[in-house]
């Protein structure tokens, strides 16, 4: 028991350190709070991230905290996950590939009271990571202007949550998280006909919270069929982060620097978020689910440097509401069979997501995605409740006249499901 606890603490510390690294190379991470992370775990990702209506006692489902009340009373569960991806960027006839890997999450769950389950852990919220340059040639003056764009950072969450089954069909729950992170973005401009270079740096540090509520209604349709309806609400609020814009005008000959700093107090915020999901369970062999989520980014103001008025201001036309639809299924031929392949879970899913930011006044790129995965039971001396969750996902991010990204991602999650609280009896 002590060794397991120490191992868990070490894994959590590892996630804290590695989550400080970016898991993306996308130039689209320069907008808003970056690329919004998938909040699902290994089990969900084979089904393309569905889970608002999923309610099972042998998995941790952080997408809806009401599901924690279903956790098995005899077990202690830990779930850790990592991912690796290859992304192809295409703009016109130019193609570039980039590789990334990331240790993404570590969560745990256990039964606290007869009708109350608890979960805790570390999850990502957003990622920022890019480095590219663009050139513009002015024919009249034969001048070349080079802009170099770089960025890094992201937001992370350390959360604790609880789910309570207040009636036989009805469960409610909440997640409360400490949210932290930084963002650093810069644009450096230089010209072949000028000795001056101009750098705009945007940066800030977030130390705030995130709060989400969930419910699930479970209805028995027949002896073999069960329907669960899930809903979640995430609370939008200011992040208490000062948004800074620093402009450096550097003379390359004299090394003289002219610095101007603009600051918007409490300039960043997250939106209200709503989710609705359905899950149908047939004989504990088929699980088919669908989720719909809305994030009201269109109501959020975002910092913008206005070169015309030479000021850093909040604008309400930089972001837009984000919609996300996912469907997925999980099939296990015979859960109690002695044959290994009959106990393997086979998963697949698909999704569609609209952008939450605008680029030069136009909508950003949309996403379409598909996934497939396996849940492989791990046999030990007395049960096979632990699972190795492996999935592959393809994501296409595209919009007219913008960069097209095709990402192939491998997700690996390990769910430790051990009967720590079972009372062993020896005759």
More confident residue, 244 or 10: 244
Quote the DSSP letter at residue 15: H
Give CA 259 to chain center in angstroms: 36
Q: At 258, is the secondary structure helix, strand, or coil? A: strand
Confidence of residue 12 (pLDDT cuts 50, 70, 90): very low
Q: What are phi and psi of 243, to 5 degrees?
A: -90, 120
Confidence of residue 175 (pLDDT cuts 50, 70, 90): very high
Tens digits of residue pLDDT in 33-42: 999 998 899 9
Report pTM. Answer: 0.88
pLDDT above 70 covers a percentage of the chain that reads: 88
Beta bridge partners of 150: 131, 186
pLDDT for residue 139 is more than 50: yes
Give the residue-averaged pLDDT of 207-227: 95
From residue 420, alpha-carbon distances to 5, 277, 318, 426 in Å are 11, 32, 50, 17
Give the residue-averaged pLDDT of 274-281: 97
Tens digits of residue pLDDT in 48-79: 999 999 999 888 999 999 999 999 877 789 99
**Number of helices and strands in the chain (H, E):** 3, 23
Closest CA to 73 of 323, 350, 372, 423: 423
In the block, tokens 């998963």 appear at 347
Q: What are phi and psi of 10, to 5 degrees?
A: -65, -40
Confidence of residue 228 (pLDDT cuts 50, 70, 90): very high
Confidence of residue 10 (pLDDT cuts 50, 70, 90): very low
Joined together, the tokens standing for residue 128 give 């920022």
Tens digits of residue pLDDT in 177-195: 999 999 999 998 877 666 6
Tens digits of residue pLDDT in 296-350: 999 999 999 987 777 899 999 999 999 999 999 999 998 888 888 899 999 999 9
Q: Which domains does the chain show, CATH number per domain?
A: 2-418 (2.40.160.60)
């Amino acid at each position: 028991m002590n060794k397991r606890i120490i191992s868990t603490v070490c894994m959590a510390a590892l996630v804290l350190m590695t989550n400080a690294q970016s898991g993306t190379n996308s130039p689209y991470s320069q907008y808003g709070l970056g690329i919004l992370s998938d909040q699902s775990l290994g089990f969900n990702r084979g089904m393309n991230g569905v889970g608002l209506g999923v309610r099972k006692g042998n998995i941790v489902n952080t997408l809806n905290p009401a599901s924690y009340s279903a956790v098995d009373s005899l077990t202690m569960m830990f779930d850790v996950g990592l991912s690796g991806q290859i992304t192809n960027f295409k703009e016109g006839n130019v193609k570039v590939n980039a590789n990334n890997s990331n240790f993404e999450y570590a969560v745990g769950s256990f039964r606290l009271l007869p009708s109350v389950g608890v979960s805790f852990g570390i999850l990502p919220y957003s990622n920022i990571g890019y480095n590219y340059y663009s050139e513009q040639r002015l024919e009249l003056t034969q001048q070349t202007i080079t802009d170099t764009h770089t960025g890094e950072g992201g937001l992370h969450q350390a959360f604790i949550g609880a789910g309570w089954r207040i009636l036989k069909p009805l469960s409610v729950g909440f997640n409360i998280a400490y949210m932290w992170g930084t963002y650093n973005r810069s644009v450096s401009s230089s010209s072949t006909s000028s000795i001056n270079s101009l750098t705009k740096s945007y940066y800030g540090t977030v130390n705030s919270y995130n709060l989400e509520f969930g419910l699930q209604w479970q209805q028995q349709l027949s002896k073999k069929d069960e329907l669960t309806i899930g809903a979640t609400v995430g609370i939008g609020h200011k992040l208490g982060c000062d948004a800074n814009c620093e402009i450096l005008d550097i003379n390359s000959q004299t090394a003289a620097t002219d610095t101007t700093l603009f600051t918007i107090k409490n300039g960043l915020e997250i939106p209200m978020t709503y989710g609705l999901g359905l899950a149908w369970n047939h004989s504990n062999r088929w699980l088919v689910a669908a989720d719909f989520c809305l994030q009201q980014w269109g109501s959020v103001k975002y910092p913008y440097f206005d070169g015309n008025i030479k000021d850093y201001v909040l604008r309400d036309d930089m972001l837009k509401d984000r919609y996300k639809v996912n469907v997925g299924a999980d099939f296990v031929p015979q859960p109690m069979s002695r044959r290994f392949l009959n106990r393997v879970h086979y998963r697949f899913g698909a999704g569609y997501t609209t952008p939450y930011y605008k680029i030069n006044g136009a909508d950003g790129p949309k996403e379409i995605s598909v996934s497939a995965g396996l849940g492989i039971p791990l046999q030990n001396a007395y049960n096979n409740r632990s699972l190795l969750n492996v999935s592959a996902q393809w994501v296409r991010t595209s919009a007219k006249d913008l960069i097209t990204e095709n990402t192939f991602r491998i997700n690996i999650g390990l769910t430790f499901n051990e009967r720590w609280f079972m009372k062993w009896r020896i005759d």
